[in-house]
């Protein structure tokens, strides 16, 4: 099944220590040979590079894994499921405009029943046929009209509500960003590594641990929101009422 890597830091840094092992999971040490993609931001400028080919044998992906410096990153290696063939329109990450920002999304899991369901708002038209991109548009529909680009809580709660509803259709782990926040949802298979270093902070999220640094699994249905390498909010989704969960040394809003 597809795999994810996300990073949030206080300044542009190279994460080759974890990115190089992640690249190997694109058809090398793991069965994800059907495409790779990287979205990165430097000084709020977005760059997306991707291709429907095995990441482990892509020289371009290898160069990015070794040398890319960014303060915010979402990467993906794909195992084709729906549709079951590689293709550029099916290769993650996906990007769409909403609320005056360019949003980026990558998914691990399978939720084909989301295709054909009406979204909360008609703000996003999928360009391809993947259940992942349809789910992305549903999430953007949840926040249309309430997103303000700040941690006011309402749009983050709506993302959690949307994630919870889609996860009920199958398996739904994802990374999402507006260029400022890294939003990570772990339905059943995601890990995090909060790794402060001096005055700088770096937080990583990945499907599987990529080193022996002390990665920890997400709780089932956990949504974590980072900015500049620091955890801002942690929400637990589910049919019971959600609550903000305190985190060590981090103010939760």
Report helix, strand or coil for 157. Answer: helix
Beta carbons within 8 Å of 63's beta carbon, 6+ residues apart: none
Determine which of 28-32, 139-143, 146-150, 161-165 has the lowest per-residue pLDDT on average. 146-150
Instruction: Report percent pLDDT > 90 for the chain.
Output: 76
What is residue 8's predicted lDDT score, i.e. its pLDDT? 97
pLDDT digits 0-9 by tens, 125-146:
899 999 999 999 999 999 987 8
What's the pLDDT at 231? 95
Cβ–Cβ under 8 Å, residues 6 and 205: yes
Instruction: Give pLDDT, residue 122.
Output: 77
Considering the domain boundaries, does residue 56 fall inside one? yes
Coil, helix or strand at residue 222: strand
What pLDDT score was predicted for residue 84? Answer: 86
DSSP code of 57?
G
CATH number of the domain where residue 185 is located: 3.60.20.10
Confidence of residue 147 (pLDDT cuts 50, 70, 90): confident
Range of the domain at 90: 3-236
Q: What is the pLDDT of residue 198?
A: 66
Rounded to the nearest integer, the mean pLDDT of the chain is: 90
Distance from C-alpha of 31 to C-alpha of 54, rounded to nearest angstrom: 10
Q: Note whether residue 27 is domain-resident.
A: yes
Tens-place pLDDT, residues 182-197: 999 999 999 999 987 6
Q: Which of 136-140, 154-158, 199-203 has the highest mean pLDDT?
A: 136-140
Flag whether 245 is in a domain: no
Residue 152's pLDDT is 64
> What's the confidence (pLDDT) of residue 243?
44
In this structure, is residue 229 part of a structural domain?
yes
Predicted confidence band of residue 76 (pLDDT cuts 50, 70, 90):
very high
Query: pLDDT-based confidence at 249, cuts 50/70/90?
Result: very low
Q: Which residue has the tokens 């609550």?
A: 243
| Residue 119, pLDDT above cutoff 90 | no
Q: How many domains does the chain have?
A: 1
Structure tokens at 73: 């990153």
Q: Is residue 241 in a domain?
A: no
Beta strand 181-186 with 3-14 is unpaired
Give me the pLDDT at residue 244, please: 44
Q: Could you give the angle at which helices 154-167 and 131-143 cross, rounded to 10 degrees?
A: 150
**pLDDT at res. 85:** 87
Residues 165, 182: contact at Cβ < 8 Å?
Answer: no
Q: What is the mean pLDDT of residues 200-221?
A: 95
Query: Which of the pair, 247 or 59, is modelled with greater confidence?
Result: 59
For residue 214, is it within any domain?
Answer: yes
> DSSP letter string over 73-89?
EEEEE----SSSS--GG
Residue 242 falls within a domain, yes or no? no
Q: What is the mean pLDDT of residues 236-252?
A: 48
Tokens of 49: 């590079």
CB neighbours of residue 104 within 10 Å: 26
Residue with tokens 């507006």: 178
Model pTM score: 0.92
Q: Is 157 domain-assigned?
A: yes
Angstrom distance (rounded) from CA 139 to CA 129 = 17
């Amino acid at each position: 099944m597809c795999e994810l890597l996300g990073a949030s830091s206080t300044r542009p840094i190279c994460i080759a220590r974890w990115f190089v092992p992640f690249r190997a999971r694109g058809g090398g040490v793991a069965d994800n040979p059907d495409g790779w993609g990287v979205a990165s931001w430097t000084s709020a400028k977005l760059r997306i590079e991707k291709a429907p080919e095995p990441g482990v044998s892509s020289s371009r992906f290898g160069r990015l894994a070794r040398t890319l410096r960014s303060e915010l990153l979402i990467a993906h290696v794909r195992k084709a499921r729906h549709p079951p063939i590689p293709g550029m329109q099916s290769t993650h990450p996906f990007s769409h405009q909403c609320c005056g920002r360019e949003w980026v999304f990558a998914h691990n899991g399978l939720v084909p029943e989301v295709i054909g369901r009406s979204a909360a708002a008609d703000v996003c038209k999928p360009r391809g046929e993947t259940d992942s991109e349809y789910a992305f548009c549903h999430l953007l529909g949840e926040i249309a009209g309430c997103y303000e680009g700040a941690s006011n809580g309402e749009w983050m709660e709506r993302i959690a509500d949307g994630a919870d509803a889609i996860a009920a259709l199958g398996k739904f782990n994802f990374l999402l960003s507006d260029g400022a926040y890294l939003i990570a949802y772990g339905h059943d298979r995601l890990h995090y590594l909060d790794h402060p270093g001096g005055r700088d902070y770096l937080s990583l999220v990945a499907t599987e641990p990529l080193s022996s640094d002390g990665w920890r699994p997400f709780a089932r249905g956990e949504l974590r929101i980072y900015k500049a390498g620091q955890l801002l909010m942690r929400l637990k989704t589910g049919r019971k009422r959600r609550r903000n969960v305190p985190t060590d040394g981090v103010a939760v809003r």
